[in-house]
Chains A and B, each alone.
Chain A
């Protein structure tokens, strides 16, 4: 059993299809910790001590958010800025995250083809996520490939949400193959790297 900490950051949940479905699916997974950041900090004032204790008590951190202008919603950035502090995540004595895992679950409105040198987004999706990857690296965390859904405003969310629940369960039960996840470019509901037992 791995202690999994699931963060959800979405300021406009009223309009969310896929992310809401993912959040609802996550609620069905028992024995993981799920946090709705915008619910806990509607006024953007983050309890840094509480958040750091929470991360310290878990083995893996999964950040779920829609991609806004090639980055996360602003509260999640604020959360990283404050929680991944000197002396906690990096710097002198900053080894509190060593050996833990980080993973992203993002939704993007453009198609996968758009995220390529020929597409109108010009770069592969992973390029835009390098700040998170390097944040994990500097904090001595292992970074798995992101769990992605493209064209999130058009497609039906059912399969992706169900896959998300399977992903969370697998991580919780140590049936998730982190080595393969680190090798992959992106993960989708039908390419989850699960071990035999799952």
Chain B
């Protein structure tokens, strides 16, 4: 458009209409970017839920009816022990008995043993929720043709027993109990390490630090640490906590002899270092939000610096600090890469006993199960993801509630 020749009459109309049309197209384009984000999120959640439920076709190596006349899950504890005794070889039975005395095992535990060792379920196919709902006839036809002996059953992979049973090499019996406990241990250690140090550093930087080069370096450094890829923290953990500090992290210093450095403690400290910058930055923001008039008032009546911080600054910023901490916890709980590097085990059936145990964690199991070829493992990976997302969601909801309360007060 020539500036000196402003269009007149019809030309002006056309020009204006064109610009309005462009404006509408632009707005639609911008909105569609957000719609793509919404669609992606929906697809992701759909994909997870879709995987955690659905039909599964399976065969038994030994039909349960040849063992007992009653349905398996109605057998009493004693009857289950008898079934195990008669159907397992002597050596195998004794081995199980040595691990934990048969009489002391729960009915559910015995039942899963019977299913796992004697009946030996063999999954022939797994279908997603959508397929199960809309293509039921096709699935039935396919099963009837390929595996006439197989039973078809709608299975909810995410069940109470999935949460409470330990790991198993068979997806059908595997649970997330060891992984959930491992994750809780890790986060606990990480927070115990990072929270006091992080808040301390934030208080120092906001309340004490003089405006000099060192302070500037510390501040820049913290911002940079927050941007270091998590896997690099994993390498730090491997070199420092697993290897150099092995006597400490393996518990040798405390008389624990049966482990190497790849323990919950080493992984928890690695996580602690990883979330430390986040905690510091969030705590700094919270402390910054405390109005200066509060500090001036405290100084005015003769309080010392620490008294001012302890009695006025910290109580008024505690909600913000906690919000930041919760967000850091939710970061730590979903972090996978550093745990792989530090040496999480992918298969453990015993609960973590203390900081010097070997460990696994929820995201590690999700990774492990996702990368397996068999579709039944994808189903339990989806279930584990639901568990993880529910944990994250409740953490974030707590953080939002805290934030709202915090905003009202100041």
Q: Do A and B come together as binding partners?
A: no
